[in-house]
Structure 1
Amino acid sequence: MYTQPYTEGGQAPGQNHAPAAVNSLLVADCGAVFTKVSLFGLVEGQYRLMARGEAPTTVAPPHEDITVGIIQAINVIEFITGRHFVSDGRIISPEQSDGNGADVFIATMSAGGPLRCVALGAVSATLEELASQAISGLYAEMEALPAPSFSAASANMPAEVGASAGYASPGGAKGPWGQERIAMEWERHLARLRELQPQAALIVGLADGPAGPNPLQEACQLLINASRQRTEQHGANASAGVPPQDIATDQISVLYAGAAQYIEAVKRMLQGVAEVTYVDTLTSQAQVGSLSIALGALHEQEVIRHLPGYERLQSWSRTAPVATATSLSSLVRFLAQHYRMNVTAIDVGGSTTSVMLAGENGEFIPLVQPALGIGPNIGSILHQAGFQRIVRWLPFSVTEEEVRQFVLNRMLHPHVIPVNARELQLSQAFAREAIALTLEEAKKKHVEWPESDLILATGGILSHAPRYGQVAMMLLDALQPRGVTSIVLDRTMLIGQLGAMATVAPITAVQVNENDAVTHRLGTCVIPFGGLQHGQHAVRVGLEYSNGRQVTIDVKAGSVEVIPLGLNEQALLTLFPAPTVDVGLGPGERARAAEEIDGGLVGLIIDARGRPLMLPSEEAERHSSLRQWAQALGA
């Protein structure tokens, strides 16, 4: 497990200057597909959500101005409240005596795409893994392009020497490492840079590696050559009559995390080509935090600030817009510390899927997949998961052509909502795989994922689900938790905004979180695991309600059961597992809750399908099981 620091790309919390008395706040969350704006104000001494508006995000033509979508969403709030918040294209601030305007405006962003970054130099497998950890909680993508001299030297070393022995960049030329192959690898890297058009580069490596300082020099030369090619292309485009605004001329931003003694030499080599920022030399887990902070700042600089309409948006606020993932991570860690429990947050958006776990002992695992979403990026889910993984969640037969047509329609028209049950179930199947693929990234990094006490879900596909049982089913299928956990749905899609709000108005954030953001508790889930034999007794569940009524139910392996336990109801829970079955204390060990458990909109859920979840391989049997489970949950 690894931890991440606060990676705020904008102003630090201490730099935010909020009014002494905040009566009202407008908070905008600009996603890749939709922009949501929420109005918060004082109601009987407590900050509450007063109104909410939603509109399509407007970074693309015909508007190409992110503030247009924000104003359209605010117009919805104006219609609901009868108050005015916009005048002459600006937010009215502070709040006026007639009730118009708001004291504070805050914005969070997931629009604009990820930061495109390449890792250059002596990129060993170990350093590539550390760099991957640094971007795991950010809207960023990184590809490693190890210096050819480093790959050649590493391949020629004995197998027992170092983690980098035999390391060669994926997709590179094959065969022995001679001058010809080194030249081919060099050309491949140049071609890849032209294709990627990275906004940032990370240079890593020590001077005592198998190739010495040569990989650092090669990294600089690669950037110089790529810059020269961009300049030549710029001239060709200008001669061809391409409008100047359509030609990228910005210098690339470079983070140098290599041998400290060469930083000045690197700056001299890249003068006029790239802006170089020195960060701690990347050698171990200890430097991941500072690198993550630097990359977060680059995301703000290279992505958020380049959004059309950014300057106008910035003029509305005392604080710089922050990435939604950064805001969400702040809230998740706060909840874990405040309630002393392990909290997992899930956010499935149109372009990005985020899964974050914060532990009660300070652990933090952020996983952000900026190329996985159920809107414009839904094609990436199909590409990575494959047809069979998608359709395994569908209780009906479907052809591969129908799925591909569905994906194409979603990519071209991400604002369109499902029009029938078939499309809805397809969307929810893709959401399951988006979450599962994100978790698989943690497994690739050998990250130990602790069991969650609380699962907090947000994002359009989850928040807008017609039935609460559908949300519970998606999360249980994709996350496959074990033991006892609770599920809370952020129906109002506020949690992504509360972390940013807390830097300006912490009391407001806490009260809104408790009063509005996490009020849709779906229920407590009991998930026995271990030696479950399908159709055999798995666990006996005893429930003693607050009014003294008692219920006992035997649950068979392979089934899902729901015991009525409504919202604001509580009961004492006792579990009697079969000898080979574990409910969190060991095989066959009885468990009794020390405190009453909470009910919810679905109830007390017993998921005895086993872990890992194995769906029936025969199609008709699988369809029947999926329908039975959905019926049990009211999905």
Structure 2
Amino acid sequence: MNTNPYPEGGQGPAHNQPPAVTNSLLVADCGTVFTKVSLFGLVEGQYRLMARGEAPTTTTPPQNDITLGVIQALNTIEFITGRRFIQNGRILTPEQSNGDGVDAFISTVSAGGPLRLVVLGAVDTTAENLVAQAISGLYAEMHSIPSPSFQAAMAKAPLSVGAPGSEQPWNQDRIAKEWERQLASMREFQPQGALIVGMADGPAGPSPLQEACQLLVNATKQSSKPGPPTLYAGAPQYTDAVKRMVGGISEMTRLEPLTSQTQLGQVSMAVGSLHERNVIQKLTGYQRLQEWSGSAPVATATSLSSLVRFLAQHYAMNVAAVDVGALTTTAMLAGEQGEFIPVVNSGIGIGPGLSAVLRQTGWQRIARWLPFVVTEDEIREFTVNQMTKPASIPTGSRELAFCQAFAREALILTMDEVQKANSENLNPDLILATGGLLAHTPKYGQVAMMLLDAIQPRGITSLVLDRTMLISQLGAVATIAPIVAVQVNENDAVSHRLGTCVIPYGDLKPGELAVRVGVEYSNGRQINVDVMAGSIEVVPLKVNEQALLTLFPAPTVDVGLGPGERARAAEEIDGGLVGLIIDARGRPLALPSEEVERHARLTQWAQALNV
């Protein structure tokens, strides 16, 4: 489990010292599709969000300069505030006596896509899992290519090569075919970094290390580009030999052998450095962006991870944050005891990442969330249209339903990775949701439904929507102005509280009473609500309203204290934009297999949340 403050390890990005008194601060988030710029300033002694601008990200022709999108978003803020922030193509700092300019500027970046990392050598399941854990909090996409000698040594039976039925032993002919396949795979993947793993006492000895080097050399010879930077985390006695073999085509960085979780931090830091160098710094306009702030832009996932861990410690609760983006879906879970599970699911999103979602899930899993009949062709046509125009907004309820179905599956795929690393089975007490689709969803009940469907929390959980899309930037803000991050988070970023959710689980029998909920409002009014298994109920509890809850579950149903155990809240719970949500549909959530019944259930649940 990664418990570093930043996924790359270390103490996070270095920034210039801000002015002794920071009256104003600009933060730009350069995403794959949109660039958002926010202005924070003092209002009656508290730091608040004063204005926000948004523009398409400009990393592709004809603009091909990431700072142009920042300037366009800044122009919106200048129009709103009547202040000037750009002078001679630079951010005007510090804030001037007439109100122009700003005391500090920082930026976060998720544009440019993930780092494509190829893992070579003696790559078995253990090594793959270790690498996956090491890069889970980074913008990195992993592709494993175990060496032919290692595959031969590990094979317990002949494996297929080519078409079904063409099984053959690991002879010279098969090895030659495997080399051809691996070279083709390297050309298709076009790695931006390579990680070589394997120890000398493995089943194939040092041969996998030699073959990994040879594959890099051969793939580079067939390309007009230099070889990818190489990280060597294999047998230490062969470090010099590996360096000699790849030295002509690639720079090599030696790491400690990757054999257990104790080496995850160094691998994470090294891969994070490769991402910054080979992806972020290659963006046109990067140098200018850096000059504006006087420090390196921060990866958006790094900023979010810092904030999530802070909130878990600050509020002494388990906090989950999810960000559904165009090309990346992120989920981070932090525990009050310092536990931290970051997952950045690169290539999975609701823009250019739609095809990967469809490829991994299949069209039927998308269709299962739609309360109407749909064909495979219709879903595929929607996918193509959305990928070619990722900045487009759904024009009708049917397109919106498609987007939300894909968002559910993107979150489910990402939460599956969280669960694999969640050895302590942390259940979130607070779920923060951000990202363009969630922030722009027209009805709050739709956001709540997506989160409950995809994350499937248990017990009692609060849902908060970051409609301002600020939480991904506040971790970076905290590195130079902690008080700004704290106050903006509490005053603006988490101001859209959807409500508190009670989720009973266990043996819920459809049609029978799952839980009786006693609600005692602050004004003394009391009500009891019976919630049947398989249903969702919303109890009126508005924003700025509080109530004490008493839960009476059925004998086989658990609300957090054990099957049948009554629970009474020690403190009043808060209301929200949706209200108090009782989700008695069961965990894991099982949708009816019969289409007509499923459509009816989806419609009933949507009506319960006023969707």
Q: Same fold judged by TM-score > 0.5? A: yes
One-letter code of the match for 2:347?
Answer: A
Aligned partner of 1:208 in structure 2 is 201
One-letter code of the match for 1:424?
Answer: L
Q: Deviations over 1:205-233 (max 9, x none)?
A: 11111122221121112111112221xxx
Structure 1 vs Structure 2 CA RMSD: 2.0
Q: Quick check: 419-428 or 619-628, which moved more?
A: 619-628
Q: Deviations over 1:231-254 (max 9, x none)?
A: xxx3xxxxxxxxxxxxxx344111
Q: How high is the TM-score relative to the length of structure 1?
A: 0.93
Does 2:64 match 1:64? yes
Aligned partner of 1:527 in structure 2 is 503
- Of residues 296, 301, 326, the one that matches 2:302 is 326
Q: Quick check: 554-563 or 377-386, which moved more?
A: 377-386
Distance 1:6 1:634 in 2: 39
Q: Secondary structure at the match of 1:606?
A: strand
Does 2:33 match 1:33? yes
Distance 1:426 1:440 in 2: 21
Distance 1:171 1:32 in 2: 38
Distance 1:70 1:9, change over 3 A: farther
Aligned partner of 2:152 in structure 1 is 152
Does 2:249 match 1:255? no
CA deviation after TM superposition for structure 1 residue 21, in Å: 2.0
CA deviation after TM superposition for structure 1 residue 167, in Å: 10
Q: Deviations over 1:320-359 (max 9, x none)?
A: 1111111111111111111111111110011110111111
Judge conservation of contact 1:374–1:430 (CA < 8 Å) in 2: yes
Distance 1:442 1:522 in 2: 23
Note the residue ranges of structure 2 that are not aligned, 5 or more in a row: none
Aligned partner of 2:188 in structure 1 is 195
Distance 1:193 1:559 in 2: 50
CA deviation after TM superposition for structure 1 residue 11, in Å: 8.4
Q: Quick check: 288-297 or 174-183, which moved more?
A: 174-183
Does 2:402 match 1:426? yes
Q: Secondary structure at the match of 1:144?
A: strand
Does 2:448 match 1:472? yes
CA deviation after TM superposition for structure 1 residue 111, in Å: 0.8
Aligned partner of 1:489 in structure 2 is 465
Distance 2:553 2:228 in 1: 59
Superposition pairs for residues 401-420 of structure 1, below 5 Å? 401-420=377-396
Aligned partner of 1:536 in structure 2 is 512
Q: Quick check: 142-151 or 17-26, which moved more?
A: 17-26
Does 2:173 match 1:180? yes
Judge conservation of contact 2:116–2:191 (CA < 8 Å) in 1: yes
CA deviation after TM superposition for structure 1 residue 444, in Å: 5.5
CA deviation after TM superposition for structure 1 residue 401, in Å: 1.8
Aligned partner of 2:530 in structure 1 is 554
CA deviation after TM superposition for structure 1 residue 446, in Å: 7.5
Distance 2:88 2:168 in 1: 65
Q: Deviations over 1:272-330 (max 9, x none)?
A: 31111112210001111111111111110110001121112111112211111111111
Aligned partner of 2:317 in structure 1 is 341
- Of residues 562, 575, 579, the one that matches 1:603 is 579
CA deviation after TM superposition for structure 1 residue 519, in Å: 0.9
Distance 1:587 1:405 in 2: 47
Superposition pairs for residues 109-148 of structure 1, below 5 Å? 109-148=109-148
Aligned partner of 1:576 in structure 2 is 552
Distance 1:23 1:11 in 2: 25
Q: Secondary structure at the match of 1:465?
A: coil
CA deviation after TM superposition for structure 1 residue 88, in Å: 2.2
Superposition pairs for residues 439-478 of structure 1, below 5 Å? 439-443=415-419, 447=423, 449-478=425-454
Distance 2:161 2:496 in 1: 47
Does 2:597 match 1:615? no
Does 2:339 match 1:374? no
Aligned partner of 1:512 in structure 2 is 488
Distance 1:590 1:169 in 2: 59
Q: Secondary structure at the match of 2:38?
A: strand
Distance 2:119 2:253 in 1: 14
Q: Deviations over 1:421-470 (max 9, x none)?
A: 11111111110111011122345568554211000000011111111111
One-letter code of the match for 1:472?
Answer: A
Aligned partner of 1:350 in structure 2 is 326
Aligned partner of 1:239 in structure 2 is none
Judge conservation of contact 1:9–1:322 (CA < 8 Å) in 2: no
One-letter code of the match for 1:416?
Answer: S
Distance 1:83 1:492 in 2: 21
Q: Quick check: 28-37 or 11-20, which moved more?
A: 11-20
Number of residue-to-residue matches in the alignment: 610
Q: Secondary structure at the match of 2:387?
A: helix
Q: Deviations over 1:515-570 (max 9, x none)?
A: 11111111100011111111111100001111111111111111111111111211
Q: Secondary structure at the match of 1:220?
A: helix
Q: How high is the TM-score relative to the length of structure 2?
A: 0.96
The ranges of structure 1 where at least 4 consecutive aligned residues each deviate by more than 6 angstroms after the TM superposition are: 166-173
% identical equivalent positions: 69
Distance 2:154 2:36 in 1: 50
Q: Deviations over 1:174-201 (max 9, x none)?
A: 5322222222222221111111110000
Judge conservation of contact 1:109–1:323 (CA < 8 Å) in 2: yes
Aligned partner of 2:478 in structure 1 is 502
Distance 2:293 2:49 in 1: 20
Judge conservation of contact 1:332–1:358 (CA < 8 Å) in 2: yes
